[in-house]
A and B are shown apart, each in its own frame.
Chain A
């Protein structure tokens, strides 16, 4: 099965290719193209990586190497909404692990797992430490979370999902 980018995605990639005139190739657009591919196809299958490689005139191996380096890219299908729950130092000091456990329980998922609706990620510091514990979900931050607030957060995200692709 071969994939294709949507019209708007093609336009976006073409416009971005103009932004790096000193590069001498389309390589600097690879992260943006991978973000777009993940948005359009849900995850980065081999076919999606081949599409990015062909679009940017890059070797498949290069695109594969990049896609597997960065943690936001996923090679397997996942949920519509990704919950990135921080457990790093400032969040841990204010019971972030208890909040993560509450998410696991409410979603019926272990960290790192997905169902159709959600992917739950144990995240490193998301730069909201003064409001620890916290989580980022697409463009939305959940701050000063307590285990008791988790259920309402999940219900809110069920009725108003925040896919990460809303950004690209």
Chain B
């Protein structure tokens, strides 16, 4: 049975200021599932998570139970790390989740750590999230005092430690291997993969990195069962989705919504329509790293697979007539990403918006790979002159070729994250860019 729009799993305690405290959280049923989970075998918890079709909410949508299964059996030291670095432009759900319900995250981490037999675990929280750090640090302290964290939890023999680790300003630290380097006290630069963190991660030990929202779903799955959670979703994606809607809508906000809701429904029915009575020009479906949708592509659901494969979404092109190849001849449409839905209205200056996105990536490239370091800076420069009306004939071809040169040729996915929206906007809004260039010629 698919969810209706009133089903709230991870945002059920939003607006309740008492839920942030141990007493308030317990009064609303908190930590009851922990007792149940501690009595379960770790394998059985992982099996429930697999059955739930919970998929990572951090950006890639990878199946959580499958990822947990990559930890080599019998590993003596395993770590679970929560990625609370949220900084993908347009995304503002993890910050709200932590602020309103820190104990649900902690409960999810204890249960998940038990499933993974992980003893020393960390929440990597973005440095600029100072209010949320205070909230989380206090909640962790309460959980230690109550005996939910530490050695021999509630007399079960299970040991789970949890430490909140503050970052210090760097988008790239959201990439999981950069995050691990940052946790280790290094510069936050991504590592070459393989080995993947599940095999060799923090301090050289098998490590699972999961997003805040991903981990907060785990207590609900253990409580009500994987089949129940899967049934709430759509296709191979279980549960609900936290969506952050911003930009040109009447009522922006952070909403927990059904997997199957379409972008048109989100805009018109949840957010009161486009502001000022205008029309949609473009929608960024999952943070600025993802190629945009145009006004004809809004009837697609926000579900993970649909955004990658639904043929109503036009494929991204390298240049007119040449489709971008994601590997093995696969087309790139778009992806669900981080849940950051940004709506651009029909008065929007698209080249200027694209320049701002490119400026972001140029600023955040860690500089390890030449295509990303040089390419993001170059795209920003060319996108800026196109946006301010001083672009030259050939600039659009130049932007395409720089983006195409970056995609697939870098250590981490930040390179793709810069290239894909560049190509996506050029594919779907080429006329807007051409008009800017002709403006100069005139």
Mark A residues whose CB is within 8 Å of B: 19-32, 34-35, 58, 65-66, 69-73, 84, 87-90, 92-94, 123-132, 136, 138-141, 164, 166-168
Contacts and interface: CB of A to CB of B under 8 A. Distances in A.
A87 B359 CA distance: 11
Interface string B174-197: 000000001111111000000000
A35 B184 CA distance: 16
A31 B89 CA distance: 24
A111 B356 CA distance: 16
A136 to B, nearest CB: 6
B187 A89 contact: no
B185 A127 contact: no
B92 interface: yes
B95 interface: yes
B168 interface: yes
Interface in B230-246: 244-246
B287 to A, nearest CB: 9
B120 A22 contact: yes
Contact of B288 (A29, A34, A71, A89): A89
Given A128-B92, A129-B92, A87 B127 contact: no
A130 B89 contact: no
Interface in B123-177: 126-131, 133-134, 161, 163, 165-171
A125 B90 contact: yes
B128 A89 contact: no
B247 interface: yes
Interface stretch (B17-25, B100-108, B340-348): B340-348
Given A22-B205, A88-B89, A167-B130, A27 B288 contact: no
A22 B185 contact: no
Nearest to B186: A66
B286 to A, nearest CB: 13
- State the 10 A-B residue pairs at the shortest beta-carbon distance, nearest first: A27-B185, A71-B169, A70-B168, A90-B246, A72-B169, A129-B246, A125-B89, A69-B187, A30-B185, A139-B131
Given A127-B95, A127-B126, 8 more contacts: A19-B161, A23-B185, A27-B185, A69-B188, A125-B88, A127-B86, A128-B95, A167-B130
Interface string B243-276: 0111110001110000000000000000000000
Nearest to B131: A139
B253 A130 contact: yes
Nearest to A30: B185
A31 B168 CA distance: 7
A71 B366 CA distance: 12
A70 B252 contact: no
A84 B357 CA distance: 18
Nearest to A130: B252
A22 B77 contact: yes
B168 A72 contact: yes
Interface of B: 77, 79, 86-92, 94-95, 120, 126-131, 133-134, 161, 163, 165-171, 182-188, 202-203, 205, 244-248, 252-254, 284, 288, 340, 342, 344, 348, 352-353, 356-357, 360, 363-364
A94 B246 CA distance: 9
B120 A21 contact: yes
17 contacts: A19-B161, A21-B120, A31-B168, A32-B166, A66-B187, A89-B90, A90-B89, A90-B252, A124-B89, A127-B86, A127-B91, A129-B89, A129-B90, A129-B246, A130-B92, A130-B252, A132-B246
Contacts, number: 157
B188 A70 contact: yes
B171 A124 contact: yes
Given A28-B183, A69-B170, A127-B92, A89 B356 contact: yes
Contacts of B205: 22
B169 to A, nearest CB: 4
Contacts of B284: 89
A35 B168 CA distance: 8
B334 to A, nearest CB: 16
A132 B356 CA distance: 15
A28 B164 CA distance: 12
A131 to B, nearest CB: 7
A92 B351 CA distance: 13
A100 B133 CA distance: 26
Contacts of A167: 130, 133-134, 166
Nearest to B95: A127
Given A22-B77, A24-B203, A70-B170, A84 B128 contact: yes
